[in-house]
Chains A and B, each alone.
Chain A
Amino acid sequence: MDVSQFIGVMLAAMFAATFGSMLGLGGGVFLVPLLTLFFDIDPRIAVGASAVCVVTNSVVGSSVHIRSGFTNLRLSMLLQVTTAVGAIIGALIALRVDASAISLVLGLVLLYSAASMLRQRRLSPPPPDDDDPDPFGLRASFRDPATKQDVVYQPVRVKPGLAISGGAGVLSGMLGIGGGAIQVPLMNLMMKVPVKAAAGTSSFMVGMTAVATAAVFYSHDEIDPTIVVPAMIGIFSGAKLGSQITRRVQTQRLVLVFVIVIAYLGVSMVLDAFGIGF
C-alpha cells in the first residue's frame, strides 16, 4: 500500500466513523462501499476490515456517549440478549433462505421507519411520572447539551421491543449488517426512547455484535492489517467527532440526517433485492 492509499483509507474511515458514531450505526454501511469502489479492495477483505472498524468506532464513540449519559447500559444489555441470539439464528439459517427476499423486507422496513421518524420528529415523548411502574428498571435521564435541559425517559413496550430486537438480530445475522439502522428506529418509534439516547445505546450494542463478525473473518484469514491500521487511525478521529456532534446538534436535525441515511439504505436494499446495483 502506498502513502496516498494509506491516507485515502484513513479519510474514508474517518468519514464513515463520523456518521456511524453520530447516528448510532456501526459505520460499516458507509465504509464497505467506499473501500470497494474507490480503493478496489476485495469485498470480503473490505467487510473484514469494516467489522474491526465497527468495533473500534463503537469503543471510541461509546466512551463519549456513556459519559454524556446517552447510553442506557441496562437497555443495551437487555436488548443485546435477544439481538445476539437472533444474530446466531440468522447466521445459521442464512444459507437456507433467499437473501433477496430478506433484503426486500428489510428495505421496506427501513423506508417505513424513515417515513415514521420524519413524521414524528417534532414530537417528544412526555416525561414519565414518578409513580409510573418501571418493571424492567430502565428509567434513565441525560442532560442534552444542545438545549441545556434534563431529559427523563422510560422505555415502554419492552417485551414487544425485545421480540422485534430479536427479529432485527436475525436480519443482521442473515445479511451481515450491524443492526444499528434497525435498533435506533425501534427504540425511538416503538419504545419511545429519545433519539440521542437511542443512538448512544445502539452505538454500544453494535460493537458487541461486530465482535462476533470480526471473529468469523479472523478465522478465515480475511482481516488485512494494511487496510485495518490506516482505517483505525481514521476511525479514532471520526468517532470522537461524531459523538461530539451528537452532543451538540439539535435532536430534530439529527433525526433528519438519520432519516436520509436509512432511506438511502432502504432504497438500496429494495433495489438490491431486484438485482439492481445502487
Chain B
Amino acid sequence: MSSDRTMRTIDGERLRELAARVLETGFRVAVAIMAVGLILAVIRQEALPSTLEQPADIADGILQGDPEAIVGLGIISIILTPFASTLVIAAAFYRQGNRRYAAISGLVLAILLVSIGLSLV
C-alpha cells in the first residue's frame, strides 16, 4: 500500500511538472512570436492592425513576413495553449494508468471543441 502511494506521488509530481512546462512553453513561444512581429513592425514603421486577421490571412501573411500576421499568430498561440495542456494532461493520465481521468480530460477537450464550433457558427 505504502509503495503504491509513493508511486502515485511521484507520478503526480511528474504530471504537474509536465502540465506546468506545457503552459510555460506555450506562453514563451507566443511571446517570442509576438516579439518578432513587433520588432518587424517597428523596423518597417508599420502600425498594428485594429482587428486580428483570420487564420487563412495569417498563414498568407506569415509566408510574406508580414508583421501583422506574425503578431496575430502569437495571440492565437496563447489562446491554443490551454488546449495543448489539457491534451497533454489527458495523455499523462492515460500513461499513469488513470483511465478514468484520461477519459474525463478527453471529454473536457471534446466539449471545448463543441463550444468553439458552436460559437463560430
Contact = CB atoms under 8 A, between A and B. Distances in A.
Given A224-B51, A225-B51, 19 more contacts: A55-B79, A55-B81, A60-B23, A63-B20, A63-B23, A66-B19, A69-B16, A77-B89, A80-B108, A88-B114, A211-B82, A211-B83, A215-B119, A216-B120, A224-B52, A226-B47, A228-B75, A232-B75, A236-B27
B89 to A, nearest CB: 6
Given A56-B78, A215-B119, A232-B78, A85 B111 contact: yes
B50 interface: yes
Interface in A43-96: 52, 55-56, 58-60, 62-64, 66-67, 69, 71, 73-74, 77-78, 80-81, 84-85, 87-88, 91-92
B105 A66 contact: no
A276 to B, nearest CB: 31
Nearest to B105: A77
B101 A137 contact: yes
Contact of A81 (B16, B19, B108, B115): B108
Q: In the complex, which range does the number of interface residues on chain A fall in? A: 35 or more
A221 B111 CA distance: 23
Nearest to A218: B52
Interface in B34-63: 34, 38, 47-52
Q: In the complex, which range does the number of interface residues on chain B fall in? A: 35 or more
A179 B31 CA distance: 26
Nearest to B25: A63
Most chain B C-beta atoms within 10 Å of own C-beta, residue among A77, A215, A219: A77
A59 B27 contact: yes
Interface in A75-123: 77-78, 80-81, 84-85, 87-88, 91-92
25 contacts: A1-B48, A55-B78, A55-B81, A59-B26, A59-B85, A66-B16, A73-B19, A77-B101, A208-B82, A208-B86, A208-B108, A208-B112, A211-B83, A211-B112, A211-B116, A212-B112, A212-B116, A212-B119, A218-B79, A219-B119, A221-B52, A224-B52, A225-B52, A229-B34, A232-B34
